[in-house]
Amino acid sequence: MRKGRLKGIIDAAINVSRETSRDYIGASQIGDACLRRIWYNYHGVSGAPFSTKQQRTFSIGKKLETIVIDSLHDAGVDLILPHVSNHYLEFFDEDIPYLRGHADAIIKDEDAILEIKTAKDSSFKIFVNKGLKVWNFQYYTQIQCYMGMSHKKKGYIVCINKDTSEVWDEEVQFSPEYYDGIKARALLVHSHDEPLPKVNDSPFYYACKTCQFKEICHD
């Protein structure tokens, strides 16, 4: 009796890269603690490919996000979803158009950005108990970007627990001062011809161990 045949087919399909190269600094990247990693991404440096497991995890996360969208829709919440007619909710900064990104949705009656995330139980509990900034500062930066680019004053982060199926959310108010800092960071990445400083000199630092640019950065 054969085992694992379909797994091989699934893995081969997952490994067909669906990621297109970016010639901009993404809102989802600019809050990364490592400016060097952002620089590598923006300047077209090729890093190690994501593993099959990582790519499958990304795909599962995207599928789970649709549950939140469907539930809000069923509850009568009027959402603007990405579509060719709205350029898939792509926003960019008017002063530095190389800072851009795609929002998950807009809550129409509140004119608010909606971002949906997934997390394991331990991470989800941090979000519930300590709030967005403590849980994931990169997500906080991302939604601030979308609000700044779209001139909206409010946003929501919704997270679904991948282990228990619980859902939690937090309302985020736009901070013009914080967004100015984000833009300064993007300008720094854009204007440097050489890689920016490393976040740590050791390849075994927690942020470096799984980075796709580890081999290049710590050569």
Q: Evaluate the CA torsion angle 164, 165, 170, 175 in order and state its sign.
A: positive
How many helices (H) and strands (E) in the chain? 9, 8
Query: Does residue 170 lie in a domain region?
Result: yes
Q: Which long-range contacts (CB under 8 A, 24 or more apart) does 210-214 make?
A: 211/34, 211/37, 211/47, 212/47, 212/48, 212/49, 212/50, 213/36, 213/37, 213/40, 213/45, 213/47, 213/48, 214/48
* Total tally of structural domains belonging to the chain: 1
pLDDT at 85: 97
Q: How many CB atoms lie within 10 A of CB 36?
A: 21
Classify residue 9: in a domain, yes or no: no
55 part of a folded domain: yes
Does a structural domain hold residue 166? yes
Q: Which residues constitute the domain of residue 160?
A: 27-32+51-194
What six digits make up the tokens of 94? 């008017």
We report the CATH number of the domain holding residue 77 as 3.90.320.10
Say if 127 falls within a structural domain. yes
The better pLDDT of the pair 107, 10 is held by 107
**11-20, 69-78, 122-131, 167-176 — which is least confidently predicted?**
11-20
pLDDT at 104 exceeding the cut of 70: yes
Amino acid at 130: K
In a domain, 81, yes or no: yes
Residue 199 included in any domain: no
Confidence at residue 16, expressed as pLDDT on a 0 to 100 scale: 58
pLDDT of residue 66 exceeding 60, the answer is: yes
Query: Is 168 inside any structural domain?
Result: yes
